Amino acid sequence: GQQVMQIPQYQHVQEGEDFTTYCNSSTTLSNIQWYKQRPGGHPVFLIQLVKSGEVKKQKRLTFQFGEAKKNSSLHITATQTTDVGTYFCASRAQAAGNKLTFGGGTRVLVKP
């Protein structure tokens, strides 16, 4: 079945530094969504990317969708303690209809 792999699994970041998390699929994706889950909370939608090569920004967060629609990345600049949490990508493969599946997530810890 469809598998979406996220790397790295864990990310320890010094406050103020940048980091990137990646989401990779072996199949072509219809679109990709990113979610953030704070410790003890539930996932909250951040953004959706639909078009090949699409780039979207939300303040310090930059999201990219690959040209082949098989990978995506989330880049955070000048990390803050409020960025702590787990970031998930989620996708629907073009051949999988409505079923939305999640990657394993990148757990981000920020060192002040």
Partner 1 sequence: NAGVTQTPKFQVLKTGQSMTLQCAQDMNHEYMSWYRQDPGMGLRLIHYSVGAGITDQGEVPNGYNVSRSTTEDFPLRLLSAAPSQTSVYFCASSYSSPTYNEQFFGPGTRLTVL
CA atoms within 13 A on the CB side of 40: 0
3-state secondary structure of 100: coil
Is residue 50 a contact point for partner 1 (CB under 8 A)?
yes
* Stretch of residues binding partner 1 (CB under 8 A), selected from 18-26, 41-49, 56-64, 68-76: 41-49
CB of 19 or CB of 35, closer to partner 1: 35
Angstrom distances, CA of residue 100 to CA of 68, 77, 79, 85, 90: 19, 28, 29, 21, 6
Is residue 72 a contact point for partner 1 (CB under 8 A)?
no
CB of 27 or CB of 31, closer to partner 1: 31
Is residue 107 a contact point for partner 1 (CB under 8 A)?
yes
Is residue 56 a contact point for partner 1 (CB under 8 A)?
no
Cis omega (within 30 of 0) for bond into 112: no
Is residue 85 a contact point for partner 1 (CB under 8 A)?
no
Residue partners of 104: CB distance under 8 A and separation at least 6:
5, 6, 9
Residues engaged in binding partner 1 (CB under 8 A)? 1, 6, 30-31, 33, 35, 42-45, 48, 50, 88, 90, 98-105, 107
